[in-house]
C-alpha cells in the first residue's frame, strides 16, 4: 500500500486541517518585546498568584487552553484530543495544567520542538479521520526552567553570551476538519541529530544542524522552492543558531536569508532586553506561532509559512555525565489558502 | 465530516495494522520471574557494561530496537517513524538510545502508559495512511528510576508494602500495514484522572481509577462485552491497584475478574521475589506485551486482548509541592485474527 509519505520524511495532507483558533499568554518580559501586541494576555509577574513557578506554568497552560476554546466558540466536549507537553521533568506543566479538561490526552516530549510535534500529530489525526478537533499546545517558564536546568535564580549567576533566555509563555492551536484556513498542508518529521556539541549554554549551535536537516529534507521531499515561502521560521535557535542554520543551508545550495527568521530572535529586542543570544523554551515558538504568525496569516500579510520548531533533547543528568546534546526539529507548512 | 471516533473516545481502525515483530530485553530480577521464558534477552547486571544506569537504560532501548528490526527482517530505511518515551527526566533513555537510528522520531510522555500511548499513535498513523511501518517502544530501569524518583539506592531505604518495583527492561513492537496479525483493532485514549491521592508510594491506588475509567469507556464506546476478551490486562497497577480497578468496574456493572490480570502482578513471583505490591515502570507492560502477550497470541492461546497501560503523571517536584497524582490509561484491542 502506498502511503501519504511515499517513503519520505514528509507527508502531504489530503484534507488539510484548519487552524481555527490560537491563544497565547506570556510573561512580563515577553510582554515588553517586539511581539507584545500579538499576545492575548500578558501576566504581571512570573508567579501569577500561584505558590510556585511550576504551578504558575500549569496555570499558563490551563488559561491558554481555555482561551483557545473560547475564541473558537467550542467547549471541551467538542475536542477529541489534546496533544501537549513541556520542558519540566515528567511534563507536569501540561499534565497538571490540563488535568481538569476531561479530554483524551496524548503527552508528548520534544523539548522546544513540542509545538511543531504536537501540531504534526494533531494534523495527521484529523487528516486521517480520527478526530474533528484537536488542541495542540505547550509552555515554558523562565523561572521553572532555570531552577530545573541551570542555577538557583537567587544566585544571580552570570550568563554566557551564547545562552538563551527561556520564554515564560504558553501557546497553542485548535486544529479542525472544519474551517477556512490557515491550513496545515505538509508535515516533515525530524530525525534526532547529534553533532557532538556538549555546551548546554549554547543550545542554538547544538540545534542548528537538526533544523537545517529538517528544512533541507522538506525542500527535497516536496520539491517546494524556498521562494514559495514568504516566511521560513525556526523556533528557537536564537542569534547563534540562526546564523549556523542559514550557513548550513547555503552550503547545501539553499539561500533562504531574505525570508528566514527565528522565534528566539523575534520575541525579544536585542538592544533593549538583554536576552543574550535570544529566546528559547517551548513557549517561545508556540506563542510566536499563536500570536504573530497566525495573525499575519489571517491578515494576509503572510501567505505561506514553514514553521520549524527545534528541540534540544538533553537533561541535567546527561550533561553531568558528559554526554553531547541530541537535537530534533519538526516542520509544518501553514498556508493561508489552498 | 464523520470521524472514525464518532464523537467517542474510541477509534475503530479501518485497516488494522499488524504487530509484525516485538522484542524485549530485561534485567536479572525480571529474568528470574514467571515470564522469563518469554523475553528475548536477560542481562546479567543492571549496568550492562555501561558507566551509568542511564546509559544502561539507553542501551536497553537501542538493543531492543535493533532486535525488533532484526526479527522482522527490516532495516532502518523501512521504518517511517519511531514513537517512544520513558520515565527519565526529558526522556533521555529514548532520545539517547535511539539517536543513531536516523528515523523520524516522535517523543511521547505518558509515564508507564507509554507502551499503549505509542502503539495507539502508531496504529492511527498507519491506519491513516501516513506510514507503512512504525516502531513503538519504551523502557524503564530500576536503578535509574529509584535514583531519580525516590532515594539513593546506597541508603537501602525500607520500602512500603504498597510500593512497586520498577522493572528494568525495554519492550517494543513493530506495527505494519503488511502482515497477518495480531492486529490492533481499537484505540481508546485515556483522559487524565486525578482522585486526589498523594502517596507516591502507592501508585497502584492512584492509577486504578484511570484504568477503570478507560476500560469502562472502551466497553461503552464499542459495545464489546468483557466476555469477548480472553485477557484484559492493565499495565502496572500491581496487587493494590488491580483489586481497586476490579472493584471499580464491578461497581459499574462489569465483572471482569475471571479474565483480568495486571502486568505488574504477572512479572514477578509474589512469594519468592519480594517485589512488594508488584512491578511497575514503562518497561513492565512493554516487556509483558512484547513477550508473554504477543507470543500467546501467536500460539493461539490468546485470541482477543485488551491491553491497558497505566501511567502516574507525577514528578518529584509535584510531590514535594504537595500535589496529588494525575493518572492516565490508554487501551488498545489486539486480535489474533480479523
Q: Where are the domains of chain A?
A: 10-176, 183-335
A281 contacts chain B (CB < 8 A): no
Q: Which residue has the higher pLDDT, B163 or A241?
A: A241
Fold of B10-176: Peroxisomal Thiolase; Chain A, domain 1 (3.40.47)
Query: Which of A1, A54, A313 faces B321 most closely, judged by CB atoms?
Result: A54
pTM of the model: 0.98
- pLDDT (mean) for A157-165: 89
Orientation of helix B114-127 relative to helix A114-127, angle to 10°: 50
CA atoms within a 13 Å half-sphere pointing along the CA-CB vector of A108: 30
Mean pLDDT by runs of 10 across the 338 residues of chain B is: 70 97 98 98 97 98 98 97 98 97 98 98 98 98 93 87 94 97 98 93 93 98 96 96 98 97 97 92 98 98 98 95 97 97
Q: Which residues of B touch A314 (CB under 8 A)?
A: 90, 92
Nearest-by-CA chain A residue for B188: A104
- Verify whether the Cβ–Cβ distance B128 to A127 is below 8 Å: yes
A4 contacts chain B (CB < 8 A): yes
Q: What is the pLDDT of residue B1?
A: 38
Q: Which residues of A touch B117 (CB under 8 A)?
A: 106-107
* Cβ within 8 Å of B, A 74-133: 80-81, 85, 87-92, 95-96, 98-99, 101-111, 117, 120-121, 124-125, 127-132
- Verify whether the Cβ–Cβ distance B3 to A96 is below 8 Å: no
For chains A and B, what is the number of CB pairs under 8 angstroms?
197
Contact call for residues B229 and B304 (beta carbons, < 8 A): yes
pLDDT at A121 over 80: yes
pLDDT at A3 over 70: no
Q: Which residues of B touch A101 (CB under 8 A)?
A: 191-192
Name the architecture of domain A183-335.
3-Layer(aba) Sandwich (3.40)
Q: What is the pLDDT of residue A1?
A: 38
pLDDT at A2 over 50: no
Q: Please count the other Cβ atoms lying within 10 Å of the Cβ belonging to residue B152.
A: 9
Residues 6+ apart with CB under 8 A from A301: none
Percentage of residues in chain A with pLDDT exceeding 70? 98
Q: Which residues of A touch B189 (CB under 8 A)?
A: 81, 104-106
* Cβ within 8 Å of B, A 229-258: none
Q: What is the pLDDT of residue B2?
A: 43
Residues 6+ apart with CB under 8 A from B102: A191, B76
Which of A149-163, A196-210, B34-48, B244-258 has the least mean pLDDT?
A149-163
Q: What is the pLDDT of residue B6?
A: 67
CA distance B5 to B8: 5
DSSP, collapsed to helix, strand or coil, labels residue B5 as coil
Contact call for residues A57 and A93 (beta carbons, < 8 A): yes
Q: What is the pLDDT of residue A274?
A: 86
Is the predicted ipTM greater than 0.95, yes or no? yes
Q: Do domains B10-176 and B183-335 have the same CATH topology?
A: yes
Contact call for residues B306 and B233 (beta carbons, < 8 A): yes
- Residue-wise pLDDT for A251-284, tens only, equals 999 999 999 999 999 999 999 998 889 999 999 9
pLDDT at A5 over 70: no
pLDDT at A155 over 90: no
Q: How far is A272 from chain B (nearest CA, A)?
A: 33
Q: How far is A232 from chain B (nearest CA, A)?
A: 21
Q: What is the pLDDT of residue B7?
A: 67
The alpha carbon torsion through B247, B248, B253, B259 (nearest 10 deg) reads -60
B199 contacts chain A (CB < 8 A): no
Query: Which of A1, A177, A189 faces B177 most closely, judged by CB atoms?
Result: A1
Amino acid at each position: 500500500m502506498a502511503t501519504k509519505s511515499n517513503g519520505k520524511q514528509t507527508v502531504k495532507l489530503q484534507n488539510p486541517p484548519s487552524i481555527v483558533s490560537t491563544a497565547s499568554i506570556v510573561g512580563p518580559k515577553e510582554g515588553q518585546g517586539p511581539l507584545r501586541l500579538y499576545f492575548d494576555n500578558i501576566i504581571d509577574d512570573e508567579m501569577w498568584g500561584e505558590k510556585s513557578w511550576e504551578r504558575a506554568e500549569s496555570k499558563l497552560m490551563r488559561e491558554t487552553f481555555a482561551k483557545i476554546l473560547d475564541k473558537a466558540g467550542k467547549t471541551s466536549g467538542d475536542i477529541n484530543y489534546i496533544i501537549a507537553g513541556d520542558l519540566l521533568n515528567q511534563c507536569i506543566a501540561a499534565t497538571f495544567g490540563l488535568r481538569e479538561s476531561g479530554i483524551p490526552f496524548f503527552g508528548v516530549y520534544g523539548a522546544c520542538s513540542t509545538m511543531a510535534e504536537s501540531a504534526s500529530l494533531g494534523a495527521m489525526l484529523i487528516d486521517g479521520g480520527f478526530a474533528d478537533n484537536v488542541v495542540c499546545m505547550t509552555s515554558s517558564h523562565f523561572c521553572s526552567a532555570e531552577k530545573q536546568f541551570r542555577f538557583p535564580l537567587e544566585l544571580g549567576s552570570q550568563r554566557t553570551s551564547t545562552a538563551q533566555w527561556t520564554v515564560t509563555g504558553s501557546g497553542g492551536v485548535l486544529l479542525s476538519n472544519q474551517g477556512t484556513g490557515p491550513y496545515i498542508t505538509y508535515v516533515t518529521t525530524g530525525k534526532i541529530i547529534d553533532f557532538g556539541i556538549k555546551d548546554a549554554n549554547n543550545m542554538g549551535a547544538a540545534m542548528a544542524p537538526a533544523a537545517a536537516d529538517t528544512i533541507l529534507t522538506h525542500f527535497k521531499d516536496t520539491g517546494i522552492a524556498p521562494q514559495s515561502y514568504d516566511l521560513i521560521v525556526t523556533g528557537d535557535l536564537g542569534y547563534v543558531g540562526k546564523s549556523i542554520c542559514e550557513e548550513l543551508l547555503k552550503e547545501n545550495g539553499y539561500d533562504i536569508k531574505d525570508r528566514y527568521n527565528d522565534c528566539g530572535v523575534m520575541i525579544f529586542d536585542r538592544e533593549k532586553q538583554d536576552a543574550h543570544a535570544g529566546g528559547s523554551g517551548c513557549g517561545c515558538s508556540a506563542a510566536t506561532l499563536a500570536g504573530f504568525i497566525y495573525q499575519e496569516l489571517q491578515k494576509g500579510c503572510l501567505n505561506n509559512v514553514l514553521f520549524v520548531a527545534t528541540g534540544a533533547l538533553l537533561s541535567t543528568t546527561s550533561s553531568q555525565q558528559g554526554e553531547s546534546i541530541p537535537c530534533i526539529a519538526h516542520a509544518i507548512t501553514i498556508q493561508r489558502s489552498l
